[in-house]
Structure 1
Amino acid sequence: MKRETIVHLIKDWRVALLLLLVAGSLIGIYLTPPNPANGLEGNLQFGLDLQGGSWLQMEFQSVVVAYSTDKPVGDLIENLQKSLEVDVVQIDQNHLEIRKSVSRADLEPLFAASDAKIVTYHEGVSTFTADEVKRILNDKVNALGMQDARINLLTPTGSEYPQYVRIELAGVDMATAQEIVGKQGMFEIRIQTSGNETEHVLFGDQITSVGVPQRDTRSQAWGVGFTLSDAGADAFRDAALKYGAIDNPNAHNLVMLLDNKTVYSAPLSGDLAAQLRSAPVRSLSASTGTGDAGLEAAMTLEIHLRAGALPVKVDVVGSGSVPAALGEHFKTTVAIAGLFALLTVGVVIYYRYREPSIVIPMLAINFSEIIILLGIARFIQQLDLAAIAGLIAVVGTGIDQLVIITDEVLHEGRVPSPSLYMKRYSRAFGIIAVSAATVMFAMLPLALMDLSTLRGFAIITILGVLIGILVTRPAYGKIIMEILSK
């Protein structure tokens, strides 16, 4: 094409938008932030399949029971809690969540003793509890900077109650994965009384907010600030008064435990002791020391403070890992497969048209579509084998739609007039739009469901269809019109 034609095309908003998105995608992949160590991979997020890592599948130790009774439900809940020594939560008017793995046969006499009857019995937890567990686990892994973690709730067929939670951690070994998410995380604060003896003050559910690690400008020590509820602040002050921590703070350490393991221990500061003498204090700060060690300790303590206790116990029932070397092999194989798919498409359409001025724009548009798709996925979706399959599917469907446009605007191999061209292009675009809508509606349920093996495929496919309809197809229509008119 002549220089004037190229300038005219670039000034068209459809082509300009395409170029802008391609440039923005390349910037997002390689320059924000720059990551030269990854080479051609840039900042793309790869999943467990392509990077190696570990997965854990954990089962909720809980059951959901539908019941019927003529007596107050509060009495039934109280009797169950005393008998089972576990939390029992009323989900709705007819369902209870018993946060312990207990059989129906063991429950029936307990219900009968309270003049109640079990109507239905399901292993698992309520949707609310499952979402709360997912949120807490998500906070844990995100606080460690593991943005490639995926957490999915799994519900057995025929049940409406999630029974398992599956966690995938790319680039993390099995021991670390189990350390991060395989434990329940029962958080407790205790106060030293005398010697090595301590007394309970409060549990993690009394912590309402947690700050980020910050360094004190005077002492240069790192610390984490956190806020207690009113009840927690009262309990903290009562314990400090009762055991003499206000009068002699250096002799009474504040001890924080996770699963009965000490994660922090330090005496009350003099300023805090003076404040507690007159009133409860809700805003506290735990100092962890100076330097890199203090910062690392502060970051770890922040995770424990934020996570608190899971609302229900979980047991690891399945696990697995993909070695990093195998992940690299998969990554290489996928890259070859994608390149082969693009070349095969190029050969097929060249055989059909035998005209480089048509084939080259087709391949360029298809390639730019993949770049834009990767640029968007870099922020919202990690690339696993299913997502890569979606990318390859987008290559095929994209070329199909470009062929529809090209065949429609060409009539018996001749170039139509501009008015006839626009009429035929509009008709071709209408066909493509209906096809794209069908694909999106078909993929939408998979994209919304927590199916780790299919969700990435559906999201990438939907994004590819949207990019094609909104950006690349209109740009191709303008480019091919200019080419054919010459």
Structure 2
Amino acid sequence: MNSETIINLLKDWRVALLIVLVAGSLIGIYLTPPNLQKGLEGNIQFGLDLEGGSWLQMEFQSVVVSYSTDKPVGDLIENLQKSLEADVVQIDADHLEIRKSVSRADLEPIFAASGAKIITYHEGVSSFTADEVKRILNEKVNALGMQDAKINLLTPTGSEYPQYVRIELAGVDMATAQEIVGKQGMFEIRIQTTGNQTEHVLFGDQITSVGVPQRSPGTQEWGVGFTLSDTGAQAFREAALKYGAVDNPRDHHLVMLLDNETVYSAPLSGDLAGELRSGPVRSLSATTGTGDGGLEDAMTLEIHLRAGALPVKVNVVGSGSVPAALGEHFKTMVVLAGLLALLTVGVVVYYRYREASIVLPMLAINLSEIIILLGIARFIQQLDLASIAGLIAVVGTGIDQLVIITDEVLHEGRVPSPNLYMKRYGRAFGIIAVAAATVTIAMLPLALMDLSTLRGFAIITILGVLIGILVTRPAYGKIIMAILSK
């Protein structure tokens, strides 16, 4: 092609969009933030398989039962809590979550004594508790700067209640992984004295229970209720009296810290100050505001009040680790597999067309598709072995679609006129669009499910299909037209 043809190609919006996306992907991989010292991998996040690290699979020590009763539900819950010495949460009108591993045979006498009957029994937790566990674990790993962690909830077939949680930590040894899951932070409540000065009131071990975020009926503000022990309530009252918070509550903030980081600060309410004059107050509530923002802050504060403790006990039922050396070996083998796939594709396509001017644009388009895909995945998806398999699948399906376009426009081996070219190209694009839609629909359930071994494969495959249909196929159509016209 001469310079005029190349300039006209670069002016075409399809080709220009392809170049811009490739350049943007390279910038995202290597320059945001600058990470040139890491070589070819740049800022790409590798998963456990390629980076080395540890994984833990934990089982929730909890059961969910549906029941029927003619008596007050509160009495049933109270009897269960006393008999089992465990938290019992009402999920809805017909279901209870018992936060302890207990068999159905052991539960039935307690229900019968309370005038109730068990309808169904499932091991696991409610979706609300499962999401809370996932949120707390995310808070923990993010606080430690481990953005590469993968946390998945696993639900057995035939059940609607998550029974397991699996956490994968790339670049983390097994001892550290278990410490992250089991370690509680140091929670402290302090009270403002004068200026920015604060004084210690109590530590988190004086908090006996933490409620779920709820709206205040009068103000519609979100808040989290929590209960102090008798010792903690007495210490709180003495501090409020000593530093003048009872007499001037608006100037004395209650400050909560987790590992010496402030997570909540607000003045004492007038009603609370009045109650503290009369005696210790065990039940407190921290308000966080209205609307979605207030709810989000309340959910975060609930985690902090628990000092990072999970709302339900878990048992480690499976664990494993990938040594860093083995991860590097996998990484090398993956690169070799990718290069071998591209080389094999190039040889086969050249054997078919015997024309380098057709083969080279095909490989260039395929390579640009992988670069764009990696540039997007750098922000949203770890690359593990399943994701790499998705990349290789994208290479194969991409070449298939480019061959369909080339064969269609080269029907009977002749270069068609521009009008006939566009008609044949439109027909070829329709074929690959239908094929792409089929692949996307087939992969969508896997992408939406919390199956850690398959989700990455599905996400990469869907992204590859979309990039091909929206960006690289239209650009290839324009490029191959310019080549065939010569």
Same fold (TM over 0.5): yes
Question: Are the aligned partners of 1:35 and 1:43 in contact in 2 as well (CA < 8 Å)?
Answer: yes
The equivalent of 2:390 in structure 1 is 390
Question: Are the aligned partners of 2:89 and 2:97 in contact in 1 as well (CA < 8 Å)?
Answer: yes
Question: Are the aligned partners of 1:46 and 1:383 in contact in 2 as well (CA < 8 Å)?
Answer: yes
Equivalence map 1:310-325=2 (5 Å): 310-325=310-325
Question: Are the aligned partners of 2:303 and 2:309 in contact in 1 as well (CA < 8 Å)?
Answer: no
CA displacement 1:144-195 (0-9 Å, x = unmatched): 1111100001111111111100000000111111111145x4876589xxxx
Equivalence map 1:55-454=2 (5 Å): 55-183=55-183, 185=184, 201-202=206-207, 205=210, 239-240=234-235, 242-243=237-238, 247=242, 273-275=243-245, 278-279=248-249, 281-284=252-255, 286=257, 308-454=308-454
CA displacement 1:314-355 (0-9 Å, x = unmatched): 121211100000000000000000000000000000000000
Matched letter for residue 6 of structure 1: I
Question: Are the aligned partners of 1:45 and 1:378 in contact in 2 as well (CA < 8 Å)?
Answer: yes
Counterpart CA distance in 2 for 1:241 and 1:321 is 46
Q: Specify whether residues 186 and 38 from structure 1 end up closer, same or farther in structure 2 by C-alpha distance, changes over 3 A only.
A: closer
Counterpart CA distance in 1 for 2:453 and 2:339 is 23
Point out where structure 2 has 5 or more consecutive residues left out of the alignment. 191-201, 214-221, 262-301
Which stretch of the first structure deviates more once superposed, 407-416 or 43-52? 407-416
The equivalent of 2:283 in structure 1 is none
Runs of 4+ in 1 over 2 A off after TM superposition: 185-191, 197-208, 227-247, 273-283, 285-290, 302-309
Tell me the secondary structure at the aligned position of residue 321 of structure 1.
strand
Which stretch of the first structure deviates more once superposed, 91-100 or 450-459? 91-100
Counterpart CA distance in 2 for 1:465 and 1:161 is 33
Q: Specify whether residues 69 and 343 from structure 1 end up closer, same or farther in structure 2 by C-alpha distance, changes over 3 A only.
A: same
Question: Are the aligned partners of 1:154 and 1:163 in contact in 2 as well (CA < 8 Å)?
Answer: yes
Tell me the secondary structure at the aligned position of residue 118 of structure 2.
strand
CA displacement 1:113-166 (0-9 Å, x = unmatched): 011111111110011111111111111111211111000011111111111000
Tell me the secondary structure at the aligned position of residue 50 of structure 2.
helix
Q: Specify whether residues 110 and 200 from structure 1 end up closer, same or farther in structure 2 by C-alpha distance, changes over 3 A only.
A: same
Once the two structures are TM-superposed, the CA of residue 205 in structure 1 deviates from its matched residue by 3.6
Counterpart CA distance in 2 for 1:190 and 1:307 is 12
Once the two structures are TM-superposed, the CA of residue 234 in structure 1 deviates from its matched residue by 13
Matched letter for residue 68 of structure 2: S
Counterpart CA distance in 2 for 1:198 and 1:285 is 10
Question: Are the aligned partners of 2:204 and 2:305 in contact in 1 as well (CA < 8 Å)?
Answer: no
Once the two structures are TM-superposed, the CA of residue 109 in structure 1 deviates from its matched residue by 0.5
Question: Are the aligned partners of 1:80 and 1:110 in contact in 2 as well (CA < 8 Å)?
Answer: yes
Counterpart CA distance in 2 for 1:76 and 1:9 is 75
Once the two structures are TM-superposed, the CA of residue 441 in structure 1 deviates from its matched residue by 0.2
Once the two structures are TM-superposed, the CA of residue 308 in structure 1 deviates from its matched residue by 3.8
Q: Specify whether residues 386 and 244 from structure 1 end up closer, same or farther in structure 2 by C-alpha distance, changes over 3 A only.
A: closer
Question: Are the aligned partners of 1:49 and 1:330 in contact in 2 as well (CA < 8 Å)?
Answer: yes
Once the two structures are TM-superposed, the CA of residue 95 in structure 1 deviates from its matched residue by 1.2
The equivalent of 1:3 in structure 2 is 3
Question: Are the aligned partners of 1:207 and 1:232 in contact in 2 as well (CA < 8 Å)?
Answer: no
Point out where structure 1 has 5 or more consecutive residues left out of the alignment. 192-196, 209-226, 248-272, 291-301
Equivalence map 1:3-22=2 (5 Å): 3-22=3-22
Q: Specify whether residues 424 and 207 from structure 1 end up closer, same or farther in structure 2 by C-alpha distance, changes over 3 A only.
A: closer
Question: Are the aligned partners of 2:207 and 2:226 in contact in 1 as well (CA < 8 Å)?
Answer: no
Counterpart CA distance in 1 for 2:307 and 2:477 is 53
Q: Specify whether residues 151 and 200 from structure 1 end up closer, same or farther in structure 2 by C-alpha distance, changes over 3 A only.
A: closer
Question: Are the aligned partners of 2:342 and 2:395 in contact in 1 as well (CA < 8 Å)?
Answer: yes
Counterpart CA distance in 1 for 2:235 and 2:102 is 39
Once the two structures are TM-superposed, the CA of residue 36 in structure 1 deviates from its matched residue by 2.4
The equivalent of 2:27 in structure 1 is 27
Q: What is the Cα-based RMSD across aligned positions, in Å?
A: 3.0
Tell me the secondary structure at the aligned position of residue 454 of structure 1.
helix
Counterpart CA distance in 2 for 1:60 and 1:391 is 35
Tell me the secondary structure at the aligned position of residue 18 of structure 2.
helix
The equivalent of 2:267 in structure 1 is none
Question: Are the aligned partners of 1:401 and 1:432 in contact in 2 as well (CA < 8 Å)?
Answer: yes
Counterpart CA distance in 1 for 2:224 and 2:90 is 24
Question: Are the aligned partners of 1:140 and 1:303 in contact in 2 as well (CA < 8 Å)?
Answer: no
Matched letter for residue 116 of structure 1: A
